[in-house]
Amino acid sequence: MGNMSRAAEAMNVTVSALSHQMRQLEQRLGYPLLLRQARGVAPTQEGRRLLDQIGPHLDAINEVFRPFQARRDCVLSISAVPTMASAWLVPRLGRFVAAHPQIEINLQSNQLLVDFERQLQFDGAMRIGDGRWPGVIAEPLIDEWLVPMASPALVERMGGIDAKPLSEWPLLGDPDGEWDRWFALTDAEAPKRYVAIFDDSESHHRAALEGVGVALGRVTRAQLLLQSGQLQLLSDQRLKTAWSHWLVYPERSTSHRGFLAFREWLHAEAAAYREHMGEQR
């Protein structure tokens, strides 16, 4: 047994309008589709057979048109790399939600770049790179800095931060040769070998957390570990990476009021973070 009121509400039309449309369809087909009773409506045998025939096609059409449906200003879809989302964006997101309670945020963490031409559901993304991505508007947020960091247990085992030159500590290598830049910056001799090498920053930081060795860690991505004391910085000096964090979005998002509010908030948060870190823009 069905209910015309609930069906009309789901379709965002009035009951009378839905009833009129159904009667027009029945007149066109030449037979009734619904049994109208005191407690509601039920499909006739012909109505059920028609639904079985056209239902799958309606679902397919709906899926095709879903990406082209008008974006609501109160729904916001953002993509961000997992480490940046968890370490930097999510701890601050509560302030945006408090300031804009009417906006629903869909945050998706993924290492893959969003293709805004095909993935029309996304309004913007946070990326790390040099800012040169075709077909999008790219706005710089914050720089990324490298600093040697280690677990408190490893620091204690080595006798303290200043007990030995850094080249004598167990160091976690990186495939980009950033340690060579670090030792050139500090005018010190680089070690001949590393205890382990990782090809992603997540494993690099995790190994440092477990006391395997010293990571030349990304300060922004390791922020939560540093604030909680699970990792310690071993130097006051910082090495700027070639890549920075950016907000990117397609031209269509400039008319999305929810995204524009998020963009303004995000730039304010980035400015506050840069000031806290003593960075200049």
Residue-range definition of the domain harbouring residue 108: 75-137+245-277
Q: Are residues 133 and 151 in the same domain?
A: no
Orientation angle between helical segments 257-277 and 90-99, nearest 10 degrees? 130
CATH number at residue 53: 1.10.10.10
The pairing of beta strand 75-80 with beta strand 40-43 = unpaired
Q: Are residues 173 and 232 in the same domain?
A: yes
Q: Are residues 152 and 237 in the same domain?
A: yes
The pairing of beta strand 137-150 with beta strand 215-218 = antiparallel
Last residue in a domain, options 68, 86, 105: 68
Q: Are residues 102 and 150 in the same domain?
A: no
**Interior angle at CA 196, CA 194 and CA 198, nearest 5:** 120
Q: b or e along 190-220 (b: 16 or more beta carbons within 10 Å of the residue's beta carbon)?
A: bbeebeeebeebeebbebbbebbbbbbbbbb
pTM for this structure? 0.70
Q: Are residues 238 and 251 in the same domain?
A: no
Maximum pairwise Cα distance, the chain: 93
Q: Are residues 250 and 122 in the same domain?
A: yes
Q: Are residues 218 and 183 in the same domain?
A: yes
Q: Are residues 270 and 131 in the same domain?
A: yes
Cα–Cα dist 147/217, whole Å: 6
Q: Other C-beta atoms within 10 Å of 121: how many?
A: 15
Name beta bridge partners: 138: 248
> How far is C-alpha 142 from the geometric centre of its chain's CA atoms?
16
Q: Spell out the per-residue pLDDT of the chain, length 281, in tens.
A: 456 676 656 665 677 766 778 788 878 888 888 888 777 788 888 878 877 888 787 677 666 655 544 457 788 999 998 888 988 999 999 999 999 999 999 999 888 889 998 898 899 999 999 999 999 999 999 999 999 999 999 999 999 998 889 989 999 987 677 898 999 988 888 888 889 888 777 788 889 999 999 999 989 888 888 989 999 999 999 999 988 999 999 999 999 999 999 999 999 999 999 998 876 54
Residues with Cβ within 8 Å of residue 176, at least 6 apart in sequence: none
Q: Which sign, positive or negative, has the C-alpha torsion 200, 206, 208, 213?
A: negative
Q: Which two tokens stand for residue 170?
A: 């167990």
Q: What does 236-255 look like in DSSP terms, one character per residue?
A: S--EEEEEEEEEEE-GGGGG
Q: Are residues 148 and 238 in the same domain?
A: yes
User: Where are the alpha helices (H) located in 106-247, listed in sequence order?
Assistant: 152-157, 178-185, 201-209, 223-227
Name beta bridge partners: 197: 173
Cα–Cα dist 60/58, whole Å: 5
CATH number at residue 263: 3.40.190.10
Amino acid identity at 271: A
